[in-house]
Homo-oligomer: A and B are copies of this chain.
Amino acid sequence: DFLRALDEVHPLFGVSEEDLERAVEGGIIHFSPHIDKILKNGRDFVNQVRSNTTPLLSVLLHGPRGSGKTALAARIAMQSEYPFIRLVRPVDMVGMNEIQKIQHLSKIFTDAYKSPCNALVLDNIELMVDWVPVGPRFSSAVLAAIKGMMENKPPKGRPLLILATTSERTVLQQLQLNFMAQIAVPNVQTQQEIAHIMQDSGAFSAPDVQRAVGEIEQTTGGQRINVGVAKVLLGIQTAMQDEDRPGRFAEVISEAVAENSA
């Protein structure tokens, strides 16, 4: 009976407690009121489930690549202080076939039915069903399994909060993978926001921040940034290899601005 084989599937790439923490490695910089609102919404959902008002609640964090979805979902989950919290990533299922993936996921859900309060973070949920826009391709078996498990009410007194992230919200709608609530996670949008992050990094003096922002505006011909916080942080790291930090930073961000508006 292959269902008994459930315990034998081990991920190639480890599932450690570190994972949740590493997802917020860059910290959460409060560069915009959106960030506070997202975290507050998250706390509310955490409470709605903890109070058992709603025994099963699925929430989707959606936004562009690198906008900080995973970090925010991990932070919300960790701050819930539920006895059971688990981050599930596509890489955990590398090397598994469809059946093994379903077993892996169903084991995780079964585990999440055991504590008095449980949270799952399903990271990049579109990749869990192996979504590729070319074709398009996806695993309908894993999709069906996730649908089933996400709608399955947990045992009485074992409420479950599901936090999923995706950069492909419309794809999930087309796949009819539905959520009970949604949270939008936007890119870094304004000069003020990017300046906030630069200052926070401690890698730039105030005049450097000014100069870099000015150069970005000049190069891109506009004030709108629209770059993910992850890319901004990487840009800072790249700039740190360079003697002319603000110049190199402006260069890298300008390229990213151009790419995103293409």
Contact = CB atoms under 8 A, between A and B. Distances in A.
A153 interface: yes
A95 B101 CA distance: 9
Interface stretch (A76-84, A141-149, A204-212, A215-223): A141-149
Interface in A131-148: 132-138, 140-141, 143-145, 147-148
Given A44-B241, A237-B53, A241-B48, A152 B106 contact: no
A8 interface: yes
B53 A149 contact: no
Given A132-B143, A234-B180, A148 B103 contact: no
A136 B136 contact: no
B241 A147 contact: no
A151 to B, nearest CB: 7
Copies in the complex: 6
A96 to B, nearest CB: 9
Contacts of A199: none
A22 interface: yes
Contacts of A178: 65
A32 to B, nearest CB: 21
A134 B145 contact: no
A122 to B, nearest CB: 14
Interface string A67-100: 0000000000000000000000111011101010
A261 interface: no
B91 A149 contact: yes
A54 interface: yes
A180 B252 CA distance: 11
Contacts of A234: 54, 180
8 contacts: A3-B10, A3-B95, A13-B148, A48-B241, A54-B237, A91-B152, A94-B106, A130-B140
Interface of A: 1, 3, 8-10, 12-13, 22, 25, 44, 47-48, 51, 53-54, 65, 89-91, 93-95, 97, 99, 102-103, 106, 110, 127, 130, 132-138, 140-141, 143-145, 147-149, 151-153, 174-176, 178, 180-181, 234, 237-238, 240-242
Given A132-B175, A135-B140, 18 more contacts: A22-B153, A25-B153, A48-B241, A53-B237, A54-B237, A90-B144, A91-B151, A91-B152, A94-B144, A127-B144, A127-B148, A130-B140, A132-B144, A133-B174, A133-B175, A134-B138, A135-B136, A180-B234
